[in-house]
Structure 1
Amino acid sequence: MRVTINGSGHELPEGASVAHAVLALTGRTRGVAVAVNDEVVRRGAWDSTALADGDRIEVLTAVQGG
């Protein structure tokens, strides 16, 4: 299936979850926030939130420093 992650097209397997998309993009699970189609997805729901063809996913990574 084709989705958009942070403005770029990506191919993910059918049935992929938010967790799968986050790992594919960042390789991390901590310090990350996710929204799917402009709706924030709680970290506890990443594994159970299935993605669909055409979904828009925004993955934000926390950065420290100044």
Structure 2
Amino acid sequence: MNIHINQQPFSMPDAATVTDALAAFGAKPPFAVALNGQFVARAEHASKALNAGDKLDIVSPVAGG
């Protein structure tokens, strides 16, 4: 299935979860995740199934002044 991670197209297996997508993207903690605009708690990453056309946003904190 095809999904978008941070606006980039990715091809994932049909039974992929948020955890699988994070690994494919190479995400390094700390980060927050939103699936189709809805926050996904870290405890739900492994159980949250993806569907074709989903949009996953991975956001890392930014510090500075």
Structure 2: tracts of 5 or more residues without a match: none
Q: Which runs of 5+ in 1 are unaligned?
A: none
1:34 alignment counterpart: 33
TM-score by length of structure 1 reads 0.86
The CA distance in 2 between the partners of 1:51 and 1:37, in whole Å, is: 10
Q: Which residue of 2 aligns with 1:60?
A: 59
Once the two structures are superposed, what CA deviation does each residue of 1:22-52 show, in whole Å capped at 9, x if it has no partner?
1111243x30110000000000000000000
Q: Aligned equivalents of 2:42 and 2:56: distance in 1?
A: 14
Larger strand share, 1 or 2: 1
Which residue of structure 2 lines up, in the alignment, with residue 21 of structure 1?
21
User: d(CA) in 2 for partners of 1:14 and 1:7?
Assistant: 19
CA RMSD of aligned residues (A): 1.3
Secondary structure of 1:20's match? helix
| Partner-residue secondary structure (3-state), 1:57 | strand
- Alignment CA distance shift 1:4-1:31 (3 Å): same
Q: Which amino acid aligns with 2:40?
A: V
Counterpart-to-counterpart distance in 1, 2:56 and 2:10: 10
Q: TM-score, normalised by structure 2?
A: 0.88
- Count how many residue pairs are aligned between Structure 1 and Structure 2: 65
